Amino acid sequence: MMRGLLNKQPSLQLLNNNKKLAKKKDMSAHAVDHAVDHHDDHGHHHKETFVTKYIFSQDHKMISKQYLITGLFMGIIGIAMSLLFRMQLAWPDHEFTIYEVLLGKWGEGGVMDPSVYLALVTIHGTIMVFFVLTAGLSGTFSNLLIPLQIGARDMASGFLNMVSYWLFFISSVIMVLSLFVEAGPASAGWTIYPPLSALPQAIPGSGAGMTLWLTSMAIFIASSLLGSLNYIVTVLNLRTKGMSMTRLPLTIWAFFITAVIGVVSFPVLLSAALMLIMDRSFGTSFFLSDIYIAGEVLHNQGGSPVLFEHLFWFLGHPEVYIVILPAMGMVSEIMATNSRKPIFGYRAMVASILAIAFLSTIVWGHHMFISGMNPFLGSVFTFTTLLIAIPSAVKSFNWITTLWKGNLQMNPAMLFSIGFVSTFITGGLTGIILGDSALDINVHDTYFVVAHFHLVMGISALYGLFAGVYHWFPKMFEGKLLNKNLGYVHFWVTVVGAYGVFFPMHFIGMAGLPRRYYTNTAFPYFDDLTDVNVVITIFAFIAAAAQLVFLYNFISSMFFGKVGPKNPWKSTTLEWTAEVKHIHGNWDGPIPHVYRWAYDYSKLNKDETDYVIPGQDFAAQHIPLQDNEEEMNH
């Protein structure tokens, strides 16, 4: 009633009323207010304090920046850790003072302790998978782009969005704090298989370090669920007029389906974490049975570590799609824009996202072919796993066809998108070896696996993240652009470094070298692989150095970057029609309506004499259909 009345008021009146309203209502109701009246209403301006603007902000743009910066910070830690353990693997006999400086008692005399090596690989994996590539990637761009690209003033619930970020922040803090506990952080691998993760007698990191790990992850899952629910509701309910599901940009499809996968699978990891907490602290036996350790028999009986593996991978496998799908969506969008062509096969792209999402929930067993589960299950999981290659192949071919006869604008975002397709192909193809149970027997848990998943979901998703940052930086920092020449240096050094790291790793894996070995020279059998490890480490340092260029570019452009045109990449999507300056509510005037799909690049008029809009090779989504134009049937 009240709102209906308000909508009819002239905008000045509205602002006054709104101020009164804001006093009456609490913060969350106020945010909902923005979201609900998103069609005919004007943006609201009201005073913001430092705290509400930069810290407890409910504005999706600010939250997205918070996610990105937290994610980048965690990424720096994760990459620094990988350099430390790469040094150890390349030169196991050398003493490096840096170990003592950074690792304290675990690096005494410049020699890395085996327990800290395991801790480093564990925390590196956890941070990169969850904190950087889930929260840092999906959290950043879902938050930034969902409201802007569907034409909404904000997320469905700004308050939940804020809570989601702050839970993520708390979980990051706990994860970082866990590095400082006396016995060391969690060191049972990022998969934290019990009994190793359940018993402090088995490894020192399974004491307080593991408790903090589990606490941090439980909070992280809560954060992820709140975020995902918000994304789903926003996409379903707050699309502007004319934005039907079939007109959604592929970014939004990807974020939407990612959120659905998250809601389906993250709770299972939460239950696994809770059961593990029970086993560790309250004497239950979900995952423990018949254990003799440190000179005594434990009371636990009847549990099974294999159960944990099932629960873990029921999330763990969809998790890699949670990481890669948003990157795929952004790459599709960036490729189309910079090719000045529509994405090839829009419907096939959406269908393959759906197919991947469905299949991703029924393939987890391919991580467990040799776990001791029934071999028949292995057959089933081989079948479902290899099926994923089909939608993946369709996507790759469609990306390549999108480039065909385009007018490719080689912006850094475009380069990273092409790089993404490259690593997705090279990393994805080896999946047909690992997904095949018979072949997995021999390469399971070797460096072949490390090479495979780093290329297909680690490096690819990172490229997606970089592509997104280069492309949407102006939407995050009020029109400023990243420096393109630094971007080129960043890209070319990174791609050479990344392949230099991971190509050779396939070979040492095929030679039978197990992963998670503190040193490969404890016994002579693998001594002949020492030189490969040195090469890998050198490339790792080169690739990491390139990230410093990015970091410098990011920070300097954030403060001193040049403001570019309002729509620098000449893109069709709605976010480029929103205000350059960050205002609460995104559009100063009414929200634009949508009249076409998101990929009318280089579309010609009926007579094929010129583009639909003469002299301009794109028709943005909010431009009504022209007289001499045929509508794309979407």
Site for another protein in 197-226 (CB under 8 A): 199, 202-204
Rounded-to-integer distance, Cα 529 and Cα 473, Å: 43
Contact range with another protein by CB under 8 A, out of 13-21, 48-56, 227-235, 335-343 = 335-343
Q: How many residues bind another protein (CB under 8 A)?
A: 137
Rounded-to-integer distance, Cα 165 and Cα 348, Å: 33
Residue 554 contacts another protein per CB under 8 A = no
Structure tokens at 134: 């889930």
Rounded-to-integer distance, Cα 434 and Cα 428, Å: 10
- Positions 260 through 289 that interact with another protein (CB under 8 A): 288-289
402 contacts 414 by C-beta, under 8 angstroms: no
Rounded-to-integer distance, Cα 219 and Cα 266, Å: 11
263 contacts 231 by C-beta, under 8 angstroms: no
- Positions 384 through 423 that interact with another protein (CB under 8 A): 386-387, 389-390, 393-394, 396-401, 403-411, 414-415, 418, 421-422
Residue closer to another protein (CB basis): 46 or 105: 105
56, 193, 358, 541: which one contacts another protein (CB under 8 A)? 193
277, 278, 511, 551: which one contacts another protein (CB under 8 A)? 511
Q: In this structure, how many other beta carbons lie within 10 angstroms of the beta carbon of residue 137?
A: 27
Distance in Å, CB of 109 to another protein, minimum: 15
Indicate the helix (H) or strand (E) that contains 297: strand 296-297
Among 590, 634, 574, 619, CA closest to 245:
634
Distance in Å, CB of 404 to another protein, minimum: 6
- Positions 567 through 606 that interact with another protein (CB under 8 A): 568-569, 599, 601-604
Residue 347 contacts another protein per CB under 8 A = yes
- Positions 467 through 506 that interact with another protein (CB under 8 A): 479, 481-484, 488, 492, 495-496, 499-500, 503-504, 506
Q: At what angle do helices 140-150 and 60-90 cross, to 10 degrees?
A: 150
Among 2, 51, 4, CA closest to 24:
2
Binding-residue pattern over the window 47 to 86 for another protein, x denoting contact by CB under 8 A: ----------------------------------------
Question: What residues contact 244, with CB distance under 8 A and at least 6 apart?
Answer: none
Rounded-to-integer distance, Cα 509 and Cα 446, Å: 5
Residue 189 contacts another protein per CB under 8 A = yes
- Positions 140 through 159 that interact with another protein (CB under 8 A): none
584 contacts 632 by C-beta, under 8 angstroms: no
Distance in Å, CB of 502 to another protein, minimum: 10
Residue 540 contacts another protein per CB under 8 A = no
* Environment class of 548 (CB within 10 Å of its CB; exposed 0-12, middle 13-18, buried 19+): exposed
80, 173, 274, 438: which one contacts another protein (CB under 8 A)? 438
Rounded-to-integer distance, Cα 61 and Cα 154, Å: 9
522, 545, 589, 606: which one contacts another protein (CB under 8 A)? 522
38, 366, 444, 452: which one contacts another protein (CB under 8 A)? 444
Contact range with another protein by CB under 8 A, out of 15-23, 174-182, 224-232, 441-449 = 441-449
Distance in Å, CB of 566 to another protein, minimum: 7
